[in-house]
Structure 1
Amino acid sequence: MKTRPAKGQNQAPELDNAVAWLNVDRPITMRELRGSVVVLDFWTYCCINCMHVLPTLREIEHRHRADPVIVIGVHSGKFNAERDPDRIREAIGRYGVEHPVAVDDDMTIWSRYGIRSWPSIVVVRPDGTIAAVAPGEPELEVLDAFITRELAAARTDGTLAAAPPDIDLAPLTDATPLHYPGKIDLLPDGRLAISDSGHHRVLICERDGEVVITAGSGLRGWADGPVEEAAFDDPQGMCWYGGALYVADTRNHAIRRVDVSSGQVTTVAGNTELGVKPPAERAAATEVALRSPWDLCLVGDVIYVAMAGSHQIWRFWPDDGQIDVYAGTGIEALVDGEVERSAWAQPSGLSERDGILYVADSETSAIRAIDLEQNTVRTLAGQGLFDFGDGEGEADGPLLQHCLGVEATAEGVLIADTYNGKIKLWTPKEGSEFGAIATVFEGLKEPASVALASDGTWFVADTNAHRIVEIVDGQLRQINLRDAPPALRGPLTPVSAHEPPPVPVEGWFTTLLKLPADAGLKAGDGGVLLILHTPEGTELAEGSPIRVAAEVSRRSDLLMLVRPEFSLEARGGPTQIIHVEVRVLSPPEPRIEAELVVTLDYVACEAGDGAKCTPGRLFVRVPVRLLSWGGKRQLEYGIELASVPD
């Protein structure tokens, strides 16, 4: 199986057949973008990894605002609700997306570019050819360096335009007291805590809507200090403990503490960096990089954290400032059982009652329950990553669609069934392992949170309607906020000029592997063989280490790595076989497209001259097809390594 080098051979397909274009007043073609470096971001707005990419793209846009560089989003939705241009427009406003977005509802553009997972970045050269196809979350400095390299090469060969493309962007609008409120929490004194997520602040108000505390100026960023000067970035879930409000500051990857007596905001967990690996054991919380904490729930003196970005449940001890991982391996899937072996998919809502922690596991459209005494997990409703729907009855089928909030009650569990625009109720059912689900209110706009007061009133964050509502006996009333100061807009710290980063980018997803139409793996233990070939006149240094790091970027619920990271010694010579061991679960369909992302570190030398060697790094996306019948035990790919520099 041969690889196909990207340079000069792969013309970027056109962007026609998009059902709508957002943030601009007309369709955009690849032809009119000749002369510019084009960065295509294939995303879907439910995806936490896609959310992680957006700040990187925003920084790229600002760094290269004077260069012929343009970012274009291609929204290829996973859930049915995500194919609606109006809902995508709301997501653009919620996340502050400032570039054009093509709505690819039937995944036509996705298929043209051979995309297999969200998110994926495609970089197109000014001459219209594909330079790289990179799944996952790109490192800012690597992506910046790659773009800078392509600009320099195009400037040298005369294909670079003199100025950025002339495209008028629609301004972001905000004319409401609240802007995409994400969560609501009831405080012990009966007041309401609201995460005004789109305004990057937190409000505490009376039940009649009078705002008494505003934490955050509205500027997007991170800053501790007095509440009026503090800065948040997309705050979400909250809980009350010890006279203070704790806030999941999601895109700052931190937990913040708002002391209502002193009016001070402090960071108590996270260092504002996006975490890569969770802590192996309990550690000082401010020294651990978190990964998009989405909700908080106090149980005793422990705050449980829905760590959406790492697909886990963590624990934070506010009294001693320690944090650890409680549940989840980090694999994105739905697996019950012992907490340390369980698997989750973007947990986004928490609520506890009688020693059971209920979890809205959003990407599996599931409601899960953790027995905090037995340390075990079971699923109450939901089936898997690609099973979702809108229904009622016994909860053994897909009845929910990307649910973000839960509230445990004496009767059962209230569910913010977000993408269905409903509040539903799960109740146990005698003789049923799963229980039953019923719709108890509908007609909302992507509600993300529901809270229950002691008098039976429900409070709902009706996110896309920019409002908080209360529901009593089936009747809805909007809470009109007053006395909240106007939110400032924009970043806390303006983007400044920068020097191109000195980051090596040779081999960054420039190798394109193709999988024959009839090839695939069958269920069971198997492998992916990567056969490395050095250029003529070079060889791998005998005895030198080859380091392999792999991850499943699509269908981690069915494709699993036996050893995600390992090393081996190069045997020397121009060829080396790398065996990536995998395990495949039985596919529920005849064929399912999956994908691996593999990073290889190696040392190559001139043949016969061990003194002239250089380290190399290769990033490669590996397409893997899973077959229910007729598959093989292993797939093979040939990979040509880069030349040794002179």
Structure 2
Amino acid sequence: MEEEEGGPPGPARNIGELTLVCIELTARLDELQDQEEKISCINEHINTYTSNQIPMIDFESGLEWFNVGRPLSLEKDVEGRVSVLDFFTYCCINCLHILPDLEALEEVHPPTTGDVLVIGVHSAKFENERVSANIQEAIKRYHIHHPVVNDAQAVMWTKLGIACWPTLLILGPSGSPLFVLVGEGHRERLLLYVNTAVQTFSKQSLLTRLPVPLSPSTHLEATGSILMFPGKVAVYPSGIIVSDSGHNRIILADTEGIVKVVIGSGRRGFSDGSFTSASFNNPQGVTFLHPNTIFVADTDNHAIRQVDLLLETVTTIAGTGQQGTDLEGGNLGASQAISSPWDVCLGRSVDQTEDEMENLLLVAMAGSHQIWGVFLSDGQWLKGSSYKQGTVVRLAGSGAEENRNTTYPLKAGFAQPSGVTLSSWSGEPELYIADAESSSVRKFNLKNGAVKSVVGGARDPLDLFAYGDTDGSGVEARLQHPLAVTCVDQAIYVADSYNHKIKVIHPSGKKYTISTVVGSKSLDTDMKLNEPGGVCVSLDGSCLYIADTNNHTIKILSLKDSIPKEFPLHFIDESDSPSQDFLNDNTSLAQLVTVTLPMEEKDAKEQRERDITLRIILELPENASLNKEAPNKWKLEASDLDFHLIASQGKLEDIETEVPLTLSSTAISGEIEMKLTLCCVLFVCLTSGMCVKTTSRHCVIFKQGDSQNSGEKRITVDVHVKPEVPEL
């Protein structure tokens, strides 16, 4: 029935109209100060759409589901509770930004209570994202525990008229839509809508609170590598730096792959401090500044971290730990909020010469679709501007998600820039950018500010769907969600992530031409790249290091023959380490064992030997297992030469390990105590996929006294080793 001209609009009839109604509702709520008035306004809206229901469609049959024991349906699982459908695609930075909002909602309304159910409806943008195996990897990577369905053809999206990613559709207990939230930044509104709906429908006894067959543990398993979803890789004088993103830490390894330094506790968090206490959250880009500094794009902490290799400390130089909405910047250090930095590289302010130290950290700010800078010292910039040391400021990009090229850098448009590298081979410093959502490589001239296309993308700056896998020149070439770039001589290498390839760009007249170096869309080839997220050139320019993200490994690619090889990282063999490395301040005194030996005669002069067996018994948590491919070690140190150690060190390969030794009985005559120190280094893998190195110290004290072992020549001493692992 049509409304009379000039009369109030009737209830929305579809999701599109409901979206507009919810925008108006948001405006009304913003005008209200009293919380009770807001709740009353929301209840008025709920009552309207309880009595005038918008039709809802069910999930298609035959779709693949994750984190749940069976496919869900509207009738069996959605009705009888308040449900939140998250229409998302895992490439989208805005979709990633609302995952913490959904986690916050689930903390208030745990799935076990049955009153609220969050369901991710994955509606892919890219072809690569339609593959269930790739979605499952993204679910692991981003710690998604609620049910997710792969609606590969976006059937529900299309039939409901969903317009963009992300969109949250909140359903009432009848399964009918109540609210629509489009885009990010709605945490407070989401919680208010859902809390009010739960209270209202609880009073009406409309919530059945039936259990849902959740099984989030089904997708959690060890990777078989010390890495988990490595994001980026960079070089430094002694080897490579890897952002071990899934383990929330940074790893430094030499050119043989031996891990020399681990930076970060491995726990998700945001804290400065020592290498063992500092915490990161999905760190991505890394870069080295001579002589002892590493900069890290700490993506999900929305921060830039500085690592001092000499002091062994981590500090924050930009970002507050919370996502920022500022599109201009200009504040100093950690007072400037930023949004999802994804990569970093070093450059110079316009007043610096090439023989001077780099003083400008360039940041691919994926969350705000811009390029930012952190001034490491006072410096000048374009159009006569100047900035003090520590200033964090936008250098290019309006903040609009576009593929817009222009000679005015602040009017340029980027679409989730995710990789940056600097080159001066053209005669001027140019920043090459992997612009993920426009599926293109762009360049930003740091002398004149011009932003131009290199390869890929579309001519229309608003078209972000010009993707594919086509070698060629300019905009005729096609990439699919590239995430990293690196330069050597006049070649630009690209991690074409969703095509599972490494490609190379060369200048060709006024254009650039791109071609495939290695990789294939098929994951059954020998190379088997799987969404590579990082790439860098070795210091001598002879090879590429590749962060093969979904394969949880680093690969090395010779540029002479384009033959890729595994570059397995491994911890150093602890038997080659000095004892102070074995017994450092971070070693916990896990157990004190006292052994009483029978009394010897005071005047006994004959030295007698007593055989002792130390039985090392490993007691691992239920959620952990021993990584038997790692160098698990035991080592003994005695306080006196009267101990005869048959072996001072060895491997720990089983749950029980026996270590023989002998001790002179006369050595402990009188009241003297003899001490033996046992140290164990274990590499433990959790079911979450995280592998951690643990070190424990056990002191065994031998003394005389009344003993039940007086008639036994050999005594067995049990030492129970209980490694401490992080609680995730």
The two structures have a TM-score, normalised by structure 1, of: 0.73
| Corresponding residue of 1:418 | 497
| Corresponding residue of 2:530 | 445
The one-letter code sitting in structure 2 at the alignment partner of 1:92 is I
The answer as to 2:70 corresponding to 1:26 is: yes
1:156-202 deviation line (CA, Å, top 9, x unaligned) = 11111245534333442233311110000011x14111001111111
Contact 2:297 2:344 in 1 (8 A): yes
C-alpha separation in 1, matches of 2:395 and 2:71? 47
The answer as to 2:543 corresponding to 1:457 is: yes
Q: CA deviation at 1:391?
A: 1.3
Aligned residues between the structures: 487
| Corresponding residue of 1:617 | none
Runs of at least 5 residues in structure 2 that lack an aligned partner in the other structure:
4-8, 13-17, 19-48, 348-357, 378-388, 459-463, 520-527, 573-682, 689-728
Find the residue that maps to 1:86 and give its secondary structure: helix
In the superposition, relative to structure 1, how do residues 397 and 13 fare at CA in structure 2: closer, same or farther (>3 Å)?
Answer: same
| Corresponding residue of 2:418 | 348
The one-letter code sitting in structure 2 at the alignment partner of 1:372 is L
Find the residue that maps to 1:155 and give its secondary structure: helix
| Corresponding residue of 1:501 | none
C-alpha separation in 1, matches of 2:684 and 2:267? 11
The one-letter code sitting in structure 2 at the alignment partner of 1:415 is V
Give the structure with the higher percent strand: 1
Find the residue that maps to 1:145 and give its secondary structure: helix
C-alpha separation in 1, matches of 2:319 and 2:178? 35
Please report the RMSD computed on the Cα atoms of aligned residues, expressed in angstroms: 1.9
In the alignment, which of 48, 64, 85 is matched to residue 40 of structure 1? 85
Contact 1:18 1:103 in 2 (8 A): no
Question: Map of 1:29-68 to 2, 5 A cutoff?
Answer: 29-33=73-77, 34-65=79-110, 66-68=113-115
In the alignment, which of 288, 294, 314 is matched to residue 265 of structure 1? 314
Q: CA deviation at 1:250?
A: 0.2
| Corresponding residue of 1:116 | 163
Find the residue that maps to 2:241 and give its secondary structure: strand
C-alpha separation in 2, matches of 1:125 and 1:174? 38
In the superposition, relative to structure 1, how do residues 268 and 487 fare at CA in structure 2: closer, same or farther (>3 Å)?
Answer: farther
Find the residue that maps to 2:476 and give its secondary structure: coil
1:339-364 deviation line (CA, Å, top 9, x unaligned) = 11111000000001111110000100
| Corresponding residue of 1:150 | 197
Contact 1:406 1:415 in 2 (8 A): yes
C-alpha separation in 1, matches of 2:62 and 2:341? 33
Contact 2:124 2:152 in 1 (8 A): yes
Structure with more contact order per residue of length (Cα contacts < 8 Å, sep ≥ 6): 1
| Corresponding residue of 1:643 | none
1:3-41 deviation line (CA, Å, top 9, x unaligned) = 634612114321124631122232100111222111111
- Higher radius of gyration, 1 or 2: 2
| Corresponding residue of 1:73 | 120
Contact 1:285 1:322 in 2 (8 A): yes
The one-letter code sitting in structure 2 at the alignment partner of 1:224 is D
C-alpha separation in 2, matches of 1:447 and 1:166? 34
C-alpha separation in 1, matches of 2:502 and 2:208? 52
| Corresponding residue of 2:469 | 390
C-alpha separation in 2, matches of 1:298 and 1:4? 55
Contact 1:218 1:487 in 2 (8 A): no
| Corresponding residue of 1:316 | 374
In the superposition, relative to structure 1, how do residues 398 and 20 fare at CA in structure 2: closer, same or farther (>3 Å)?
Answer: farther
In the alignment, which of 436, 439, 448 is matched to residue 362 of structure 1? 436
C-alpha separation in 1, matches of 2:423 and 2:217? 46
C-alpha separation in 1, matches of 2:171 and 2:557? 50
The answer as to 2:504 corresponding to 1:434 is: no
| Corresponding residue of 2:399 | 330
C-alpha separation in 1, matches of 2:394 and 2:404? 16
1:516-572 deviation line (CA, Å, top 9, x unaligned) = xxxxxxxxxxxxxxxxxxxxxxxxxxxxxxxxxxxxxxxxxxxxxxxxxxxxxxxxx
Q: CA deviation at 1:450?
A: 1.0
Runs of at least 5 residues in structure 1 that lack an aligned partner in the other structure:
491-646
C-alpha separation in 1, matches of 2:511 and 2:305? 36
| Corresponding residue of 1:339 | 409
In the superposition, relative to structure 1, how do residues 222 and 489 fare at CA in structure 2: closer, same or farther (>3 Å)?
Answer: farther
Q: CA deviation at 1:399?
A: 1.4
The one-letter code sitting in structure 2 at the alignment partner of 1:173 is E
Q: CA deviation at 1:82?
A: 0.7
Q: CA deviation at 1:109?
A: 0.9
Contact 2:282 2:299 in 1 (8 A): yes
1:313-353 deviation line (CA, Å, top 9, x unaligned) = 00101342111100000111111122111110000000011
Question: Map of 1:566-645 to 2, 5 A cutoff?
Answer: none
| Corresponding residue of 2:58 | 14
Contact 1:219 1:489 in 2 (8 A): no
| Corresponding residue of 1:611 | none
**Greater shift after overlay, 291-300 or 33-42?**
33-42
Give the structure with the higher percent helix: 2
| Corresponding residue of 1:297 | 345
